[in-house]
């Protein structure tokens, strides 16, 4: 439709508003089409952004696997350090004016200060272990899709074994009701709350997968075997534990990589709060320091505040297992542990001869110079001896809390006979926590299945 | 007075006496009377009768003699009459002046045109070039004086011509018919004339403008072209940079903007350094994780203005330019090349500028050439630069000895810390001499020289106009390496004298130029090309910060070895940066009602920063290092627009559509080398070398349409719509229209309000608009980072998914509603503008940390609201024949609040956190509520770290951006306006900062940290690393005295110097600070580009300068 408006003198005819608008909005339509249709103008590149397609190849899959291994290497130190502080492996060394609250709470098992709802709690257990779960989940997808077939099985075995380790460590250390979160299909996956035993079974399933897909790699297969045996022992299924560990050679070791973990567990890593090698902590702790056991090497500790070496007291010593800056590794699973589990199974079968011979075989062959053999301490203290041997063989490796809880839950010991109690040298009464809580506030914020905190006295 | 001075003075007097050029227009206009209708003057002047006798004189001499005979002034351009060699002979008695000029100019193509009652201008005759078209010409005068730079519009198209020195404008090849010709000029009321153009004829339309401070008829640049303020539903702040830089202490764009626009905050870094960080905030902080800087558009082209690269690692990171403080790209713009700056504050106004205009837009128009005679301008501005030591915090140092060995601690004893560890016994406390004037330790040099100079030339004809400028800027920071430190560094280097780079750790040189050429290709097509170039060399030492923060000078020469890291002072960073920004603007007037515009532009900014600690002298190999950071930025802009107008009385229509394309790309690499070869300073000789690539690429394409409907030129409705696509939106994003509507009602033009006493102008306005900020690619796609790590016994490349992607991310969308009113009262004595706005940002992009152990990811979670109030007021307090006093005032209030964070957690940090119910960029913490002096067996008067009791709740401690800002600008002019004194005082209140009060990284500013007898609460406060202190301050920002040389002095003729204008001004900046802030300076922020509120850096420098502006 066309029309005319008259302007000025009336002699001049001008184009219409209507026509102008038709023209204008037609141009808008064209521009809109260009905006949407000219997708090429909006194509950009970014060589610095690694996208999924960039790593959908064998090397990318391996790099993802190595990232999971790295997460494992990073987790072992903090997890083991937390266990050491919570248990009798390490203890205070000073009047402690600068002994900050979270660590003091950890050392004293103070559930009031160190409670599950404490948002300031930095969660040294669940966080690094969840990271193992998330990185292994991502890596497993990458390895399944892109790894070379010659190594795919072993890579998967390693990754599933790492998941088994993470879940076992959660179950041993954390109070029940924790989540096992991870990443699935590029998004967070939040699990239901796990009880301790259900988590061990979850771990065994992962380790079964590892054992089923692994081929000839004794390293990963044996790693999974030891972990599986450990999980069965935690469940009190000692026969299954013995079966799982039987094929593991005594000289087998699965350790963190040199250069990453050592500093975490070294003296350097503990300089922010003062701790010495544990020595009969709380009256029931083991004498890690004063026994001068070659498996727990220590030296006189320079007292932090007095700035002099305490050569009078025989108790305050620095651990030397992990030397600052040295090439120390953390042995997470080993043939030694396999033998110890078999010994425990023998003891459970009331076979003290096999139990003792197994322990003495380790003392003679797994350390140089050989340690003197043990004599049978008699039925009343065999269990103590068995757990003491485990504690010294696996000092500062993150096993101790699981063992102590096992003494309570599987062997019926009162927690006061296992965990330090009474008055802490700071003048504080030891708390009653027998497991480490996770950060409930954080967990419940994201995970709808976590509605109550866990009970560290469990 | 010496003889030499007397000779010089005499020479100046003689030189001034020979000047013949007309007096300065600006000064004349300031005291002008009412305008006189021009037509009557013309006929009277040319009818005047004269008697002359000319014998074989040149045409030039002839017109001068005619002028003398008629007792009038004759103006002409020298080149106009040059080369006309034909001698003129004229003997006349009682001949009219018009006939006399026609006779003399016969055959020259020139004519005499009267400008006023006693002025005639000799100029080319206007001849229509076609029998099918006509021409329009005429003059624009104010108070009988020609007005240059007025915009003359034909039929309200988007294209205007500007008047030349003689006030003349010209449209050629105008279609026959009736046309509207309108004139707009800053400070004058708009006028419109209807003119009939006939084929082959030249129509003359002349304008005598009335001065007015009415702003409604001013013209601003909008996304769709130039528009009158009265048509806009939103507020646009306009800064007339051309006149401001001559009279105010301005050496950068940041200083040009500071204190002149309510709601615009300039966040600066280390004030005492030169070429530091500058960050802009318009109407507060409204985003958490995305860039909060407004976009800057120069001549229609996007100009990278912030320090940051949108690295696609899921976050916005600082670009790397220089050591310590990054140099703001705003320094690449020379304020002397800027004509106007317009500030568009929020989405209610900025919708049409594109997807990242939610932070506001700063529109800069550079200077253009004017037709007329060639005009040269020079300016020079020597500056002295100092750090006012009154604002420097007192730094304490404790001296003590080891309780066990008795060994002295040379200035390394902190009572609380050291006593707690029982390693030090306090012997004495002293003020560190570095900051209090001891020349041996002085780190602040007084009166550092700076020098700025420039020149420009402009001119041209009606067909081609040009502007060229060049400038040179040399600045020296106020920090220096103290003598004592220098001695120590000399011992390290084994040289008797240090290089200037180390002694003077912060200098900057800028050289640049600007060129603009405008020409009419045809009667319908005009093109303007502009290009700006800047080359910068900036030297900075890492020691410039260290010299302030970390030194421990000791008590003798050997104690200088206690410098926390002497090699820091030897590390020098050399930044070489250049920048070319070019724009090609084309206008095509298809018909009298349809105009097309196109802008094509490019912004190129390559730079390299070479930082080196050479392995020379006794510098050990492990300390030596070299780093090369190279950046290459490319920005491209292309805008195409079409605007149609129609005026069916009483309505008016203005329809615009356009397409905008913007491309932004930064490519860079960082090479970091350590352990250099002996004697080397090259990164290539490093035995350990790492590298990193930096890449950012964003392209966006948008289209818009806008309709402005006017009713009787007093009610305007605006509606617009924009649709965008962007590379950052991702494939999953479906473009969503962003609308904008506005209304502007000039109530005072309504008949029923015409006669209200004192009310000259009253306007109500309202607008609503939406804009968005888009996520980075990394936010959408996730981030996987590769790095080397020892795994499986080998150094292996590891890919870590450090951040999960979220393909469903949408842009942050901000919607803003703005209401306001503008009034001019009591003639033009009072002007008031009030603006209230309310802003709502949805889909705020927040980092969801996810449960511990899982990678984080971004989500559209946040909801933030904001509102604010802005006032602009100007009042003429006194106006007499001798004195005029004015007062300017601005006030801005802004507050925002986080209403929701979705599933994202609070970020109650002490570096700019946020939480539901509190403003963005807030400060949170656990304040100390008491002490329990019990450790050590009971009260001992010494507070240890575990003895103070903190509040159990992480509390809101304050907002870190000032919610209230005030600016007072009184000025007074006297002696007919030849002397003008103005000053600016700023006040900002209601905010807190992380102070350098205590033992933070800034060291030892808290005396109670050492004093055993200090109150225990004071000790506890000192013990906290990051106490929050009020940042409120009042600053005497500017003081300027400007002297305009009266024209009668310029008119004197000596030495053939022909100055047409000359002025000089004395300028002071940052003259005084009043603040209870415990740190050094509440305006010196550690990281102004972020919401990190850490402050307390090197104070803002105080400058004094003198500026000379001369127009020959």
Residue of B692, B851, B946 best to disrupt the A interface, most CBs of A under 10 A: B851
Is the Cβ pair A49, B783 closer than 8 Å? yes
Q: Which of residues 735-754 of B touch A (CB under 8 A)?
A: 735
Token pair 């105008």: residue: B174
Report the residue of chain B nearest A21, measured CA to CA: B655
Which residues in chain A are closer than 8 Å to B796, comparing Cβ atoms?
Answer: 62-63, 66
B773-801 per-position pLDDT tens digit? 888 778 888 888 888 877 777 778 888 88
Report the residue of chain B nearest A327, measured CA to CA: B793
B477: which 2 tokens? 């920071």
* B719–A contact, CB cutoff 8 A: no
B238-293 per-position pLDDT tens digit? 898 988 888 888 989 999 999 999 999 988 877 777 888 888 899 988 788 888 88
Model pTM greater than 0.80?
no
pLDDT (0 to 100) of residue B719: 95
Q: Is the pLDDT reported for residue B333 higher than 90?
A: yes
3-state secondary structure of A448: coil
pLDDT (0 to 100) of residue B1067: 94
Report the residue of chain B nearest A304, measured CA to CA: B421
B105-116 per-position pLDDT tens digit? 766 767 787 777
* B903–A contact, CB cutoff 8 A: yes
Residue with the larger pLDDT of the pair B185 and B313: B185
The segment with the largest mean pLDDT, out of A170-174, A261-265, B629-633, is A170-174
Is the Cβ pair B851, A9 closer than 8 Å? no
Q: Is the pLDDT reported for residue B344 higher than 80?
A: yes
Average pLDDT over residues B1070-1083: 85
pLDDT (0 to 100) of residue B18: 30
Average pLDDT over residues B591-596: 84
Q: Is the pLDDT reported for residue B301 higher than 90?
A: yes
Query: CB–CB of B1079/B1093 below 8 Å?
Result: no
Residue with the larger pLDDT of the pair B1047 and B498: B498
Residues belonging to chain A: 458
Q: Is the pLDDT reported for residue A266 higher than 60?
A: no
The segment with the largest mean pLDDT, out of A279-293, B18-32, B393-407, B795-809, is A279-293
pLDDT (0 to 100) of residue A314: 57
Nearest Cα neighbor of B110 from B143, B86, B91 is B86
Distance from CA of A228 to the nearest CA of B (A): 22
* B852–A contact, CB cutoff 8 A: yes
Q: Using alpha carbons, list the distances in angstroms from residue B125 to B109, B129, B144, B202, B518.
A: 6, 12, 22, 10, 22
Q: Is the pLDDT reported for residue B493 higher than 90?
A: no
Nearest Cα neighbor of B847 from B815, B809, B799, B898 is B809
Query: Of the ranges B627-631, B856-860, B1000-1004, which one carries the lowest mean pLDDT score?
Result: B1000-1004
pLDDT (0 to 100) of residue B33: 29
* Cα(B412)–Cα(B421) distance, integer angstroms: 13
Which residues in chain A are closer than 8 Å to B659, comparing Cβ atoms?
Answer: 31, 34-35
* Cα(B563)–Cα(B550) distance, integer angstroms: 8
Helix axes A58-86, A126-146, angle to 10 degrees: 160
* B710–A contact, CB cutoff 8 A: no
Is the Cβ pair B648, A181 closer than 8 Å? no
Q: Is the pLDDT reported for residue B431 higher than 80?
A: no
Q: Using CB atoms within 10 A of its CB, is residue A203 exposed (0-12), middle (13-18) or buried (19+)?
A: buried
Query: CB–CB of B178/B194 below 8 Å?
Result: yes
Nearest Cα neighbor of A440 from A450, A429, A432, A426 is A450
Q: Is the pLDDT reported for residue A37 higher than 60?
A: no
Distance from CA of A129 to the nearest CA of B (A): 7
A24: which 2 tokens? 């204008």
* Cα(B1031)–Cα(B1028) distance, integer angstroms: 9
Is the Cβ pair B792, A66 closer than 8 Å? yes
pLDDT (0 to 100) of residue B121: 81
Which is it for the CA torsion B113, B115, B120, B121, positive or negative? negative
Is the Cβ pair B782, A186 closer than 8 Å? yes
Which residues in chain A are closer than 8 Å to B637, comparing Cβ atoms?
Answer: none
Report the residue of chain A nearest B698, measured CA to CA: A44
Residue with the larger pLDDT of the pair B436 and B1030: B1030
Whether residue B24 is preceded by a cis peptide bond, meaning omega within 30 degrees of 0, is no
Is the Cβ pair A130, B784 closer than 8 Å? no
Is the Cβ pair B420, A28 closer than 8 Å? no
Is the Cβ pair A443, B852 closer than 8 Å? yes
Q: Is the pLDDT reported for residue B867 higher than 50?
A: yes
A38: which 2 tokens? 């000219």
Residue of B852, B906, B936 best to disrupt the A interface, most CBs of A under 10 A: B852
Q: Is the pLDDT reported for residue B871 higher than 60?
A: yes
* Cα(A146)–Cα(A360) distance, integer angstroms: 47
Distance from CA of B642 to the nearest CA of A (A): 8
Report the residue of chain A nearest B194, measured CA to CA: A8
Token pair 């033998």: residue: A339
The segment with the largest mean pLDDT, out of A241-245, B104-108, B115-119, B1078-1082, is A241-245
Q: ipTM of the predicted structure? A: 0.81
Residue of B631, B853, B942 best to disrupt the A interface, most CBs of A under 10 A: B853
Average pLDDT over residues B1078-1103: 71
Report the residue of chain B nearest A134, measured CA to CA: B854
Average pLDDT over residues B905-930: 80
pLDDT (0 to 100) of residue B925: 79
pLDDT (0 to 100) of residue A268: 35
Neighbouring CB atoms inside 10 A of B188's CB total 24
Query: Of the ranges B117-131, B315-329, B471-485, which one carries the lowest mean pLDDT score?
Result: B315-329
* B850–A contact, CB cutoff 8 A: yes
* Cα(B397)–Cα(B548) distance, integer angstroms: 14
Which residues in chain A are closer than 8 Å to B797, comparing Cβ atoms?
Answer: 59, 63, 66
* B632–A contact, CB cutoff 8 A: no
The segment with the largest mean pLDDT, out of B8-22, B479-493, B550-564, B915-929, is B915-929
Q: How many CA atoms lie within 13 A of B204 on its CB side?
A: 12
* Cα(B1006)–Cα(B999) distance, integer angstroms: 7
Q: How many CA atoms lie within 13 A of B342 on its CB side?
A: 24
Which is it for the CA torsion B205, B208, B210, B214, positive or negative? positive
Which residues in chain A are closer than 8 Å to B423, comparing Cβ atoms?
Answer: 307
Which residues in chain A are closer than 8 Å to B705, comparing Cβ atoms?
Answer: 24-25, 28
Query: Of the ranges A222-226, A396-400, B164-168, which one carries the lowest mean pLDDT score?
Result: B164-168
Helices (H) and strands (E) in chain B, counts: 17, 58
Q: What are phi and psi of B525, to 5 degrees?
A: -125, 130
Q: Is the pLDDT reported for residue B879 higher than 60?
A: yes
Nearest Cα neighbor of B167 from B65, B339, B16, B35 is B35
Token pair 């209870």: residue: B1076
Query: CB–CB of B297/B852 below 8 Å?
Result: no
The segment with the largest mean pLDDT, out of B117-126, B137-146, B718-727, B835-844, is B835-844
pLDDT (0 to 100) of residue B186: 67
Is the Cβ pair B725, A133 closer than 8 Å? no
Average pLDDT over residues B887-891: 96
Percent of residues, chain B, with pLDDT higher than 70:
80
pLDDT (0 to 100) of residue A160: 97
**CA angle, B769 then B770 then B771, to 5°:** 130
3-state secondary structure of A367: coil
């Amino acid at each position: 439709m066309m029309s005319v408006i008259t302007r000025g003198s009336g002699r001049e005819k001008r184009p219409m508003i209507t026509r102008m608008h038709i023209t204008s909005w037609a141009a808008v339509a064209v521009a809109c089409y260009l905006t949407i249709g000219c997708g090429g103008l909006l194509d950009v590149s970014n060589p610095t952004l690694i996208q999924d397609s960039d790593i959908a190849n064998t090397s990318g899959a391996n790099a993802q696997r190595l990232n999971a291994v790295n997460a494992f290497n990073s987790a072992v130190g903090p997890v083991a350090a937390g266990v050491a502080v919570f248990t009798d492996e390490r203890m205070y060394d000073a009047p402690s004016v600068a002994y900050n609250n979270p660590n003091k709470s950890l050392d004293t098992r103070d559930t009031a200060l160190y409670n599950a709802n404490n948002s300031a709690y930095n969660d040294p257990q669940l966080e690094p272990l969840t990271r193992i779960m998330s990185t292994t989940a991502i890596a497993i997808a990458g390895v399944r899709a892109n790894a070379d077939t010659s190594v795919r099985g072993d890579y998967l075995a390693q990754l599933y074994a790492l998941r088994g380790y993470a879940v076992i460590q959660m179950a041993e250390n954390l109070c029940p009701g924790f989540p096992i979160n991870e990443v699935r299909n590029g998004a967070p996956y939040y699990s239901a709350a796990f009880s301790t035993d259900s988590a061990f079974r979850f771990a065994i399933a992962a380790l079964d997968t590892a054992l089923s897909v692994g081929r000839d790699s004794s390293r990963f297969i044996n790693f999974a075997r030891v972990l599986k045996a450990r999980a069965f022992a935690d469940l009190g299924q000692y026969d299954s534990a013995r079966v799982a560990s039987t094929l593991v050679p005594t000289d087998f070791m699965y350790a963190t990589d040199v250069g990453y973990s050592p500093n975490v567990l070294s003296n350097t890593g503990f300089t922010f709060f003062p701790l010495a090698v544990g020595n009969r902590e709380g009256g029931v702790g083991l004498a890690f320091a004063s026994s001068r056991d070659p498996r727990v090497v220590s030296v006189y500790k320079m007292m932090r505040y007095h700035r002099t070496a305490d050569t009078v007291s025989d108790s305050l010593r620095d651990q030397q297992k992990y030397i600052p800056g040295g090439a120390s590794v953390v042995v997470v699973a080993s043939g030694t542990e396999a033998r110890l589990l078999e010994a425990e199974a023998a003891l459970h079968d009331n076979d003290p001869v096999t139990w003792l011979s197994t322990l003495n075989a380790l003392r003679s062959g797994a350390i140089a110079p050989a340690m003197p053999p043990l004599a049978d301490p008699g039925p009343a203290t065999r269990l103590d001896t068995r757990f003491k041997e485990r504690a010294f063989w696996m000092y500062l490796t993150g096993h101790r809390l699981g063992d102590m809880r096992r003494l309570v839950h599987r062997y019926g010991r009162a927690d006061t006979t296992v965990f330090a109690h009474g008055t802490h040298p700071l003048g504080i009464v030891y708390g009653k926590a027998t497991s480490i809580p996770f950060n409930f506030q954080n967990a419940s914020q994201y995970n709808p299945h976590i509605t109550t905190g866990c009970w560290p006295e469990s | 007075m010496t003889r030499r001075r007397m000779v010089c003075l005499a020479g100046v007097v003689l030189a001034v006496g020979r000047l013949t050029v007309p007096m300065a227009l600006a000064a004349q206009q300031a005291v002008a009377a009412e305008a006189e209708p021009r037509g009557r003057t013309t006929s009277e002047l040319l009818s005047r009768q004269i008697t002359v006798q000319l014998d074989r004189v040149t045409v030039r001499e002839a017109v001068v003699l005619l002028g003398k005979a008629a007792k009038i002034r004759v103006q002409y351009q020298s080149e106009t009459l040059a080369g006309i060699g034909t001698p003129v002979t004229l003997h006349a008695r009682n001949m009219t002046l018009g006939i006399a000029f026609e006779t003399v100019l016969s055959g020259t193509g020139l004519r005499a045109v009267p400008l006023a009652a006693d002025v005639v201008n000799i100029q080319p005759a206007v001849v229509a070039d076609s029998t099918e078209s006509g021409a329009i010409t005429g003059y624009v005068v104010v108070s009988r004086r020609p007005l240059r730079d007025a915009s003359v519009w034909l039929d309200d198209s988007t294209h205007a011509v500007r008047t030349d020195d003689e006030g003349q404008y010209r449209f050629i090849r105008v279609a026959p018919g009736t046309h509207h010709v309108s004139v707009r000029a800053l400070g004058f009321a708009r006028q419109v004339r209807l003119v009939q153009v006939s084929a082959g004829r030249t129509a003359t339309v002349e304008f005598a403008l009335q001065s007015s401070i009415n702003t409604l008829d001013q013209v601003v640049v909008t996304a769709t072209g130039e528009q009158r303020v009265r048509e806009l539903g939103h507020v646009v702040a306009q800064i007339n940079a051309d006149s401001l830089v001559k009279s105010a202490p301005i050496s950068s764009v940041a200083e040009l903007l500071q204190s002149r626009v309510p709601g615009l905050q300039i966040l600066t870094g280390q004030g005492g350094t030169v070429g530091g960080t500058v960050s802009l905030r318009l109407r507060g902080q409204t985003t958490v994780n995305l860039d909060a800087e407004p976009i800057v558009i120069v001549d229609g082209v996007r100009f990278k203005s912030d320090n940051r690269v949108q690295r696609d690692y899921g976050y916005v990171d600082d670009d790397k330019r220089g050591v310590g403080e990054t140099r703001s790209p705003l320094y690449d713009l020379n304020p002397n090349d800027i004509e106007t700056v317009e500030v568009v504050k929020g989405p209610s106004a900025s919708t049409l500028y594109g997807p990242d205009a939610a932070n506001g837009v700063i529109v800069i128009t550079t200077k253009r050439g004017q037709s007329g005679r060639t005009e040269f301008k020079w300016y020079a501005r020597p500056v002295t630069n100092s750090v006012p030591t009154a604002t420097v915090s007192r730094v304490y140092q404790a001296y003590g000895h080891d309780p066990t060995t008795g060994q002295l601690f040379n200035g390394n004893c902190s009572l609380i810390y050291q006593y707690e560890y029982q390693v030090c016994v306090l012997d004495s406390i002293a003020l560190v001499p570095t900051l209090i004037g001891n020349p041996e330790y002085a780190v602040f040099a007084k009166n550092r020289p700076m020098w700025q100079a420039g020149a420009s030339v402009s001119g041209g004809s009606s067909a081609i106009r040009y502007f060229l400028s060049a400038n040179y800027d040399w600045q020296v920071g106020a920090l220096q390496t103290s003598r004592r430190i220098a001695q120590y560094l000399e011992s390290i280097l084994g040289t008797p004298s240090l290089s200037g780079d180390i002694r003077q750790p912060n200098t900057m040189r800028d050289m640049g130029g600007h060129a603009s050429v405008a020409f009419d290709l045809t009667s319908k097509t005009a093109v303007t090309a502009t290009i700006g170039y800047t080359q910068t060399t900036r030297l900075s030492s890492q020691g410039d910060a260290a010299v302030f923060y970390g030194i421990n000078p000791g008590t003798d020469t050997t104690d200088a070895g206690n410098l926390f890291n002497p090699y820091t002072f030897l590390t020098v960073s050399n930044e070489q940066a250049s920048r070319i920004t070019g724009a090609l603007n084309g206008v095509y007037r298809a018909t009298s009602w349809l105009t097309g515009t196109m802008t094509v532009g490019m912004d190129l900014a390559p730079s390299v920063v070479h930082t080196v600690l050479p392995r020379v002298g006794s510098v050990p190999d492990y300390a030596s290092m070299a780093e090369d950071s190279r950046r290459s930025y490319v920005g491209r802009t292309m805008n195409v627009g079409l605007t149609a107008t129609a005026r069916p009385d009483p309505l008016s229509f203005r329809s615009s559509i356009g397409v905008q394309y913007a491309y932004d790309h930064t490519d860079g690499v960082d090479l970091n080398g350590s352990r250099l070869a002996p004697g080397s300073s090259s990164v290539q000789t490093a035995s350990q070398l790492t590298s990193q690539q930096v890449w950012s690429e964003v392209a966006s394409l948008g289209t818009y349409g806008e309709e402005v409907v006017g009713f009787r030129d007093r009610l305007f409705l605006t509606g617009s719509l924009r649709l965008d696509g962007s590379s950052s939106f991702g494939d999953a994003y479906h473009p969503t229209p962003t609308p904008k509507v506005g209304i502007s009602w000039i109530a005072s033009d309504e008949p029923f309000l015409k006669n209200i006493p004192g009310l000259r102008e009253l306007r109500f306005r309202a607008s609503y608009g939406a804009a968005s900020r888009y996520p980075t690619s990394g936010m959408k796609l996730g981030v996987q980072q590769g790095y080397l790590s020892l795994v499986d016994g080998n150094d292996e490349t590891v890919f870590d998914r450090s951040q999960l992607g979220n393909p469903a991310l949408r842009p942050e969308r901000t919607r803003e509603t703005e209401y306001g009113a503008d009034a001019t009262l009591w003639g033009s004595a009072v002007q008031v503008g009030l603006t209230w706005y309310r802003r709502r940002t949805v889909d705020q992009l927040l980092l969801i940390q996810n449960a511990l152990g899982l990678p984080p990811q971004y989500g559209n979670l946040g909801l933030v609201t904001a509102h604010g109030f802005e006032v602009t007021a100007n009042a003429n307090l006194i106006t007499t024949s001798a004195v005029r006093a004015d007062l300017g005032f601005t006030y801005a209030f802004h507050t925002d609040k986080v209403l929701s964070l979705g599933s994202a957690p609070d970020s109650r940090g002490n570096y700019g956190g946020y939480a539901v119910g509190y403003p963005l960029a807030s400060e949170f913490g656990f304040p100390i509520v008491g002490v329990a002096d019990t450790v050590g067996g009971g009260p001992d008067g010494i507070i240890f770290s575990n003895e103070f009791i903190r509040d159990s709740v992480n509390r809101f401690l304050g907002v870190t951006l000032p919610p209230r800002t005030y600016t007072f600008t009184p000025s007074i002019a006297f002696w007919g306006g030849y002397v003008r004194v103005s000053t600016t005082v700023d006040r900002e209140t209601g905010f807190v900062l992380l102070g350098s009060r205590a033992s933070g990284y800034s060291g030892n500013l808290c005396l109670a940290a050492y004093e055993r007898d200090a109150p225990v609460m004071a000790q506890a406060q000192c013990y906290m690393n990051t106490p929050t202190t009020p940042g409120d301050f009042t600053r005497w920002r500017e003081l300027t005295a400007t002297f305009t040389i009266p024209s009668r002095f310029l008119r004197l003729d000596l030495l053939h110097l022909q100055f047409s204008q000359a002025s000089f001004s004395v300028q002071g900046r940052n003259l005084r600070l009043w603040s209870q802030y415990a740190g050094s300076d509440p305006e010196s922020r550690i990281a102004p580009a972020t919401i990190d509120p850490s402050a307390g850096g090197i104070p803002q420098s105080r400058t004094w300068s003198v500026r000379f502006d001369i127009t020959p």
